[in-house]
Amino acid sequence: MQLFDNPASPFCRKVQVLLRETGQLDEVETTYAVGHPLAPDRMPLAENPLGKIPCLVRDDGPALYDSRVICRYLDARGEGGLYPEGRIWEVLTLEATADGIMDAAVLMIYEGRSRPEALRYPAWVDAQWDKIARALDALESRWMGHLAGRLDMGQIAVGCALGYLDFRLPDRDWRKGRTALAEWFEAFGQRDSMAATVPSA
C-alpha cells in the first residue's frame, strides 16, 4: 500500500499513529505530498480528486481518502480494535470532535498563508478559534472519563488535534483553564506512537 502523507498534517498523523499501534507500519510505503487548495500540483490528484491528504492507495481496490475512512479501513485490516462496537458512537463522535478542531485550526493557518494580507479577515480567524475553544471545553467537561479508558481512535484523534495546536497555534494557549485535558495529553503524548509522529514542518 502507498500512503500520501505529510508530517505536518494532523490528519496524516492520525493514520501514522494507528499504523504503529496496529503493527502495520512496515506494510505501507509513505510518499511525501505538500500543497494547499491554491497550490495542489504536488498532491495526489489522480488518486483523490479533492487533492487532499492522507490518501491510501490499496493493492486490491480504489484509493481511500479522508483520515476517518482510512483509519477505519486500517483498523479493520489490522484487527486493532480501535473502533470497539460496544462504544462505537462515542468513539466516532469523539473522533469527529477532534477532526473539527483540526479543520478549524488548518483554516486558521490557511488564512495567514494562502490569502494576500489585504484579504485576510481576523474576525473569521477568531471565529475558527471559538469553535476550537468550545470543543476543548467539551472535552474537558464531558469526555475525560472516555479519554482515560482503553485506547481507541477517539483518543488518538484528540491527541493529534492537541499536538497540532501546540505545533501551529502555540500562542493561543489551549491548556489555560483545562487542567485535566492538559494532564491527559502530557501522559498520552508519551506513547511510542505519539512520540514517533510529533509534527514537523
Place of cell 493493492: 59
Contact indicator for 55, 64 with CB cutoff of 8 Å: yes
33: amino acid identity, one letter:
A
Q: What is the pLDDT along the chain (201 residues), one digit of tens a residue?
A: 999 999 999 999 999 999 999 999 999 999 998 876 666 777 787 788 888 899 999 988 899 999 999 999 999 999 999 999 999 999 999 999 999 999 999 999 988 877 888 888 899 999 999 999 999 999 999 999 999 999 999 999 999 999 999 999 999 999 999 999 999 999 999 999 999 999 987
Which residues, including other chains, have CB under 8 Å from residue 125's CB and lie 6 or more apart? 108, 111, 112
Report angle CA 33, 38, 41 to the nearest 5 degrees: 40
Q: State the span(s) of the chain assigned CATH 1.20.1050.10.
A: 85-191
Class of the CATH domain delimited by 2-78: alpha beta
pTM of structure:
0.94
C-alpha closest to that of 52 among 69, 31, 37: 37
Find the DSSP H helices in 50-118: 67-78, 88-114
Fold of 85-191: Glutathione S-transferase Yfyf (Class Pi); Chain A, domain 2 (1.20.1050)
Strand order of the β-sheet with 29-32 is 29-32, 2-5, 55-57, 64-65
C-alpha closest to that of 5 among 70, 53, 58, 66: 53
Rg (Cα) of the chain, in Å, rounded?
17
Q: Counting beta carbons within 10 angstroms of the beta carbon of residue 55, is it exposed (0 to 12), middle (13 to 18) or buried (19 or more)?
A: buried
Q: State the span(s) of the chain assigned CATH 3.40.30.10.
A: 2-78
